[in-house]
Homo-oligomer: A and B are copies of this chain.
Amino acid sequence: MDIEYQNGLVPVVVQDYNTLEVLMVAWADDEAVRLTMETGYAHYYSRSRKKIWKKGEESGHIQRVHQIRTDCDADTLLYLVSQSGAACHMGYRSCFFRTIEGEVLLDRIVDPKKVYNNTNE
């Protein structure tokens, strides 16, 4: 499939392959997608750091990618992954741990201070 990148990037929804939980949303460029397909581990593009990153490169919380899907317009990707540890840099299994009203739905499973030198991931 030809991916429709916008300004060189495509949003990636990341879903747990086993539980189907939506873990996070990140961005990828074509190089990050290529690295993900070649290595089988999720890579993204950081818009703030302006570089490709491998999920878990600092925290060890890597994502083994089982399948990559595109949507009908081929302008969004879905990574189905096995997540090690916490997807969220705040220590929660999923970044979507709160309702829009602010209610926290999940327990923190990791102390972020113990796995990150900074909280940029």
**What are the residues of chain B within 8 A of A78 when measuring CB–CB?**
22, 96
Nearest CB of chain B from residue A19's CB, rounded to whole Å:
8
* B24 engages A69 (CB within 8 Å): no
**What are the residues of chain B within 8 A of A69 when measuring CB–CB?**
96-100, 105
Is A46's beta carbon under 8 Å from chain B? no
**Which bracket fits the contact residues of A?**
35 or more
Is A25's beta carbon under 8 Å from chain B? yes
The residue of chain B having its C-beta at the shortest distance from the C-beta of A36 within the complex is: B100
Q: Mark A94-106, 1 if CB is under 8 A from B, else 0.
A: 0111111110010
**What are the residues of chain B within 8 A of A62 when measuring CB–CB?**
none
Nearest CB of chain B from residue A112's CB, rounded to whole Å:
10
